[in-house]
Amino acid sequence: MGRFFVPPLPARSGAAESAYRELCDQAEARTGEVARDRRIETLECRHSGRDYLLQVGQPDACTGRTVAAIFQLGRSTYTVHHVGEHPGDTPEPVVFQQSEVYSTTEFHVDADLPAAAAPGAIVGNGVAPASGAGAR
């Protein structure tokens, strides 16, 4: 688990938090669902008949574009957002349904983040464990 950031912005910056909020708003507008309070770092999924591991800050194997953020919306929808080619670009997010997602991992809990923004890691079907069981 890494520390939370939004590429290409520096971690722990007001600009990163602002960019994250804007991407979250875009995800909610695109899906019509409310984003959960999770800071997802990786998403293992199946897309177009192939398995992928998508990670914030790394190139997406499908598109070659850098993953900027991953959101879970409601119980069963995920969006993957990419860094635009030019400053100010906001490419449309890729939308995944729970049936396409194998697992997620969240960013490292950071004492500097608000409590609601810094949950622990989960694995499996994207449903947070009720207690410490199953969390890394």
Q: What is the pLDDT of residues 91-116, one digit of tens each?
A: 999 999 999 999 999 988 655 544 44
Q: Is the pLDDT of residue 86 over 90?
A: no
Mean pLDDT on 80-89 = 86
Asked if omega into 8 is within 30° of 0 (cis), the reply is yes
10 versus 21: the higher-pLDDT residue is 21
Polymer length in residues for the chain? 136
Output the pTM of the full model: 0.76
The two structure tokens encoding residue 82: 């990419």
Q: Is the pLDDT of residue 25 over 70?
A: yes
